[in-house]
Amino acid sequence: MSITPDTIIYWQFGPFAISATLVFTWVVMALLVGSSWLVTRKLSSATSVSRGQLLMEIVLQGIRGQIREVVEIDPDRYLPFIGTLFLFIVVSNVLVVVPGFQPPTGSLSTTTALALCVLVAVPAFGIASNGLLRYLKSYLEPTAIMLPLNIMSEITRTISLSIRLFGNMMSGTMIAAMALAIAPLFFPVIMNALGLLIGVIQAYIFSILALVYIASATRAHEEKLAGATNKKGEPSHV
């Protein structure tokens, strides 16, 4: 049993190689795109909808609810990015029960790429909400002395995101291999069930942490907008 799909090479020509990480990453993306197309091509607003649309609405409402609990404002702005992160990771982790499937999240290169997406998304959302100068000024708060520490914080939390997801997936693979060697007829069933639960939890943790980082970059602007809305919309009390 391979600890990481990077070690499984299907084709190589000189420095160019097609590993299991690359193949199964595209498999997961194809499944997500294909299932989305199948479900959304016949959307209906009637009281009776297809099972696929019902499942999609349940998943989306669940993700929107979790985003709303973190940002406490309309979650639709963050839904495409956070929802895509969660669905990609959870599908990659859950499909590990399929024989022969190698989860891309078991590769450090994949988890690093996902963390880099978060690293880019944080300033992107922050600049979109606060403007470039105001966002850059946040690195100088509370004093200019904090600039190197604030920059280091951005880098270290990105590293921690990638290593956390990779480490949990790799450790799960190693434990499953050890259990299979000890009791090949009993432990695999338990480990598969436990692996599914851990996979979903890891997808949730990664997405929530990414959302927290993004929300921290936009919090000041969002609170200002919420305060302005309340001043205009709420009646005064005597």
| Per-residue pLDDT tens over the stretch 4-29 | 787 888 888 877 888 888 999 999 99
| Predicted model pTM | 0.80
Instruction: Considering only residues 172 and 55, tell me which one the structure prediction assigns the higher pLDDT.
Output: 55
Do 115 and 166 meet the contact criterion of CB atoms below 8 Å apart? no
Token duo for residue 207 = 């997405």
Domain that holds residue 201: 5-233
Q: What is the dihedral of CA 132, 135, 136, 138, to 10 degrees?
A: 160
Cross-strand partners of 17: 12
Average pLDDT, the chain: 80
Does residue 43 lie within any of the structural domains? Answer: yes
Q: How many domains does the chain have?
A: 1
At residue 29, the pLDDT reads 94
Q: Does the structure show a pLDDT above 70 at 168?
A: yes
Does residue 20 lie within any of the structural domains? Answer: yes
At residue 235, the pLDDT reads 45
H/E stretch holding 64: helix 51-71
Q: Does the structure show a pLDDT above 50 at 236?
A: no
At residue 34, the pLDDT reads 92
Q: Does the structure show a pLDDT above 50 at 142?
A: yes
Does residue 97 lie within any of the structural domains? Answer: yes
Do 124 and 77 meet the contact criterion of CB atoms below 8 Å apart? no
| Per-residue pLDDT tens over the stretch 216-230 | 888 644 554 455 445
Q: Can you tell me the mean pLDDT for 71-84?
A: 86
Q: Does the structure show a pLDDT above 60 at 200?
A: yes
Between CA 212 and CA 22, with CA 168 as vertex, the angle to 5 degrees is 90
Collapsed DSSP state (helix, strand, coil) of residue 185: coil
At residue 138, the pLDDT reads 80
At residue 91, the pLDDT reads 93
Q: What does the alpha-carbon distance between residue 28 and residue 204 come to, in Å, rounded to a whole number?
A: 17
Does residue 227 lie within any of the structural domains? Answer: yes
Does residue 238 lie within any of the structural domains? Answer: no
Does residue 138 lie within any of the structural domains? Answer: yes
Does residue 126 lie within any of the structural domains? Answer: yes
Q: What does the alpha-carbon distance between residue 103 and residue 111 come to, in Å, rounded to a whole number?
A: 11
Angle subtended by helix axes 79-94 and 187-233, to nearest 10: 170
